[in-house]
């Protein structure tokens, strides 16, 4: 049971990393336009 002392911060830390990645993606504008990128992939230059 004592392992929880280490596992809990690790679990939350991992979650926080993903939350931070999500925030970075939102700030980057990744979610501003959800309709076009699927169309765009069909065209290569």
Partner 1 sequence: MSAPTLPSRASATAAGARDGPARDTEGRAAAQCPHCGTPVEGTADAFCCTGCEVASLIISDAGLERYYAERTAFAPRPEAQGGVDWNALPIARGADGRCETRLMVEGLRCASCVWVTERVLERTPGVTQATVSYATGRATLRWDPAQVDLAVLARRIGALGYRPRPLGVEASADRSLLLRLGVAGFAAMNIMLLATTIYAGWWDGMDQRYAALFQWTTLILATPVALWCAQPFFAGAWSGLRHGVLHMDLPIALGVAILYLQGLVATLAGREGYLDSLAMLVFLLLAGRVLESRGRRRAAEAATALVGMVPRTARRLRSETRDADGTGLAIESMETVAVGDLHPGDRIDTGTGEEIAADGIVLEGSAQVKMALLTGEAAPVLLGPGDRVVAGTVLVDGALTTRVEAVGADSVVHRMAAELALAQDRGTAPTSADRIAPWFTAITLLVASLTLASWWVLRGSDVAIARTVAVLVVACPCALALSQPLAAAAGLGAAARRGLLLRSSDALLRLGHVTVVGLDKTGTITTGTLSVTAATDATLRLAAGLERYSAHPIAAAIIAETARRRIPLPAAAEVREVPGQGISGVVDGARYEIRSSGPGAIDVLGAQGVIGTVQLGDVARADSGSVVQQFERLGVRAVMITGDHSEVAERFGRDAGVGEILARTLPAAKSDWVRQQQASGERVLFAGDGLNDGPALAAADVGIAMARGAASSVLVADGIISTESLAPVIAGIRAARAAERVIHSSQRRSIIYNVLAVAAAAAGLVNPLVAAILMPLSSSMVIWNAARVERIIQAEEACVR
Residues that bind partner 1 (CB under 8 A): 1, 4-5, 8, 11-12, 15-16, 18-19, 22-23, 26-27, 29, 31-33, 35-36, 39, 42-43, 45
Least Å from the CB of residue 4 to partner 1 = 6
How far are the Cα atoms of 2, 17, 31, 41, 43 from residue 24, in angstroms, in the given order? 34, 10, 11, 23, 27
Least Å from the CB of residue 21 to partner 1 = 10
Least Å from the CB of residue 18 to partner 1 = 7
Asked if 30 and 37 count as a contact pair (C-beta separation under 8 A), the reply is no
Half-sphere exposure of 35 (CA within 13 A, CB side): 0
């Amino acid at each position: 049971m004592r392992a929880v002392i280490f596992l809990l911060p690790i679990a939350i830390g991992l979650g926080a990393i993903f939350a931070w990645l999500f925030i970075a993606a939102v700030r980057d504008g990744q979610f501003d336009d959800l309709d076009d990128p699927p169309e765009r992939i069909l065209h290569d230059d």
